């Protein structure tokens, strides 16, 4: 069997699940296993992607999957290289990331997997970003201390926040804004975030959805958490909204949603200092800034009233509109892949992939080039979905490297004109690279203290937890500059 040296672009859960499965299915102790090396590259200096920088801090149980990732990283055949941006386009949001051209990977690896995720927010065409309208990702990255260093929201000047979209991310943000910092302080919330939350003037959060309760994107678990917020109560819904349309048979989950909404919040509306509402059958059409910069003045959000077209299940305008006064609009409409990513498909807003393989414009799979997770399939599903997909992709890789496993017809890696400018031409993966070494740019980056490795992360992780214990919380996070100094001092 030919040696296998796999480069994985991305360091989130999908990347780790693929790596973990390959390493476990091809144990080093088995003489029948091929020579295998797995090198993972991430633009962020810390591993685990959305698990570290997307999961709500008050959901620590969701992060338990990192134990499995840590186990995979102990395999001597695995290496992680963080703070590395693969591609020809510099990252303006993370300027300290080392730039690694894609051809450097092609020269140094036999196989290549893209697990790059969907890193950009989907914006609403009617209300573009402004001082009064920001994407949800900006807030999520703020309270998780993402290396892109998003601006700190002026919560002390906001009394009413409107979320567009009623998925779990919207409910996460609403819950953070409506929960006392005294409750959040035990979790993985940076101290500077808690300081801002302690000055927050937010009294009400509106959660706007263009369709009805049966089509809401949030899960019942997240809804129950909203219903039991200690300092907030829900504005009661019009009872007619909770009656399924004639001829509709709700699923068990939908019936439970209607029951929760009918029951309402644990606290009676009007008995709490903070409130929240679910505004169904509403779709934004415009946002007019306030007449002055006074915090008392609010922007005016115009909402089109909608109803559900039973033939298409799509929301269509009724012709009626209403206006909502709000301090800030936060759009939470999903995510898309970065168009500068190699093999990006603009028709799908994610990579040009099928069944775990990167495909040419003609639909032919490229030899030894794979894709997994949100980058391959779009931003959908939960961690369990990601794991199942990643395992399937790992099995696809396995079918290509183990004799007799039964592969599929592919085209050489150089035959992909029109898929990505930076990989055009005759560039191909190297069937005989150095068996151990990463690209020379990575070696220099490690010496210069720019590229992190998994042992660096282990030291930082332990220190963050130690600092958190001193403060009586889960952990206290480091930013890049502090982490770099810490790594430097630890290595001396």
- Bind-site residues for FAD: 14, 50, 86
The CA–CA distances, whole Å, from 361 to 346, 350, 354, 368 equal 12, 14, 12, 17
pLDDT the model gives residue 426? 42
Q: What is the mean pLDDT of residues 287-315?
A: 92
Burial of 50 (0-12, 13-18, 19+ CB in 10 A): buried
- Residue ranges of the annotated binding site for NADP(+) are 166-169, 210-211, 222
Least confident of 131-135, 418-422, 432-436: 418-422
The Cα 324–Cα 134 span in angstroms is 17
Mean pLDDT across 400-409 = 68
Q: Where are the domains of the chain?
A: 4-119+336-452, 123-333
User: For the domain bounded by 4-119+336-452, which CATH number is listed?
Assistant: 3.40.50.720
Quick check: 415 pLDDT over 60?
no
Q: Determine the pLDDT at residue 88.
A: 76
Residue 181 reports pLDDT greater than 50: yes
The tens digit of pLDDT for each residue in 116-136 reads 999 999 999 999 999 999 999
Please enumerate, by residue number, every residue annotated as part of a binding site: 14, 50, 86, 166-169, 210-211, 222
Q: For residues 354 and 307, give the distance between their C-alpha atoms in angstroms, rounded to a whole number.
A: 35
Q: Which pLDDT score, from 0 to 100, does residue 422 have?
A: 35
Which CATH superfamily, name and number, covers 123-333? FAD/NAD(P)-binding domain (3.50.50.60)
Pairing between β-strand 353-354 and β-strand 204-208 as defined by DSSP bridges: unpaired
Give me the chain's average pLDDT, please: 93
Q: What is the mean pLDDT of residues 263-272?
A: 96
Mean pLDDT of 431-456: 97
- Please say if the pLDDT value at position 420 is more than 50: no
Residue 465 in this model has a pLDDT that exceeds 50: yes
**Each residue of 61-112: pLDDT tens digit?**
999 999 999 999 999 999 999 999 998 777 888 999 999 999 999 999 999 9
| Residue 1, pLDDT above cutoff 80 | no
Dump pLDDT digits (tens) for 308-347: 998 899 999 999 999 999 999 999 999 999 998 889 999 9
pLDDT at 410: 59
At 369, phi and psi to the nearest 5?
A: -120, 125
pTM exceeding 0.85 = yes
pLDDT at 416 over 50: no
pLDDT value at residue 35: 96
């Amino acid at each position: 069997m030919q040696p296998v040296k796999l480069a994985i672009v991305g360091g989130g859960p999908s990347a780790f699940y693929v790596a973990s499965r390959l390493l476990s299915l091809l144990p080093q102790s088995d003489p029948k296993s091929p020579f295998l090396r797995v090198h993972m590259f991430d633009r962020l200096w810390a591993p685990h992607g959305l698990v570290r920088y997307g999961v709500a801090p008050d959901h620590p149980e969701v992060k338990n999957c990192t134990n499995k990732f840590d186990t995979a990283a102990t395999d001597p055949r695995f290496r992680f290289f963080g703070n590395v941006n693969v591609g020809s386009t510099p990252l303006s949001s993370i300027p300290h990331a080392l730039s690694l051209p894609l051809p450097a990977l092609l020269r140094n690896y036999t196989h290549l997997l893209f697990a790059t995720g969907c890193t950009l927010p989907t914006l609403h065409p009617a209300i573009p970003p402004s001082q009064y309208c920001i994407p949800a990702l900006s807030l999520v990255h703020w309270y998780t201390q993402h290396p892109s260093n998003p601006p700190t929201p002026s919560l002390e000047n906001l009394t009413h926040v409107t979320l567009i979209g009623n998925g779990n991310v919207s409910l996460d943000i609403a819950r953070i804004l409506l929960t006392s910092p005294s409750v959040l302080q035990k979790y993985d919330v940076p101290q500077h975030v808690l300081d801002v939350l302690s000055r927050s003037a937010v009294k009400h959060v509106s959660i706007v959805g263009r369709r009805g309760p049966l089509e809401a994107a949030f899960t019942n678990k997240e809804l129950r958490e909203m219903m039991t917020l200690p300092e907030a109560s829900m504005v009661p819904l019009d009872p007619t909204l909770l009656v399924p349309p004639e001829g509709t048979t709700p699923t068990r989950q939908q019936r439970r949603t209607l029951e929760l909404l009918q029951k309402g919040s644990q606290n009676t509306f009007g008995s709490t200092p903070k409130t929240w509402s679910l505004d169904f059958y509403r779709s934004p059409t415009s946002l007019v800034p306030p007449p002055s910069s006074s915090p008392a003045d609010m922007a005016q959000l115009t909402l089109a009233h909608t109803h559900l077209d039973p033939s298409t299940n799509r929301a269509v305008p009724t012709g009626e509109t209403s206006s909502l006064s709000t301090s800030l609009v936060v759009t939470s409409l999903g995510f898309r892949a970065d168009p500068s990513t190699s093999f990006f498909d603009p028709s799908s807003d994610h990579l040009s992939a099928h069944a775990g393989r990167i495909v040419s414009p003609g639909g032919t799979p490229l030899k030894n080039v794979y894709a997994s997770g949100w980058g391959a399939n779009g931003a959908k599903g939960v961690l369990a979905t990601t794991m199942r997909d990643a395992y399937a992709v790992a099995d696809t890789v396995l079918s290509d490297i183990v004799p007799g496993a039964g592969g599929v017809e592919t085209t050489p890696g150089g035959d992909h004109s029109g898929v990505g400018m930076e990989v055009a031409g005759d560039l191909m993966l190297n069937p005989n690279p150095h068996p151990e070494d990463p690209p020379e740019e990575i070696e220099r980056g490690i010496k210069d203290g720019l590229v992190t490795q998994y042992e660096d992360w282990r030291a930082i992780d332990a220190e963050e937890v130690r600092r958190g214990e001193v403060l009586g919380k889960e952990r206290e996070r480091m930013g890049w500059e502090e982490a770099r100094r810490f790594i430097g001092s630890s290595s001396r």
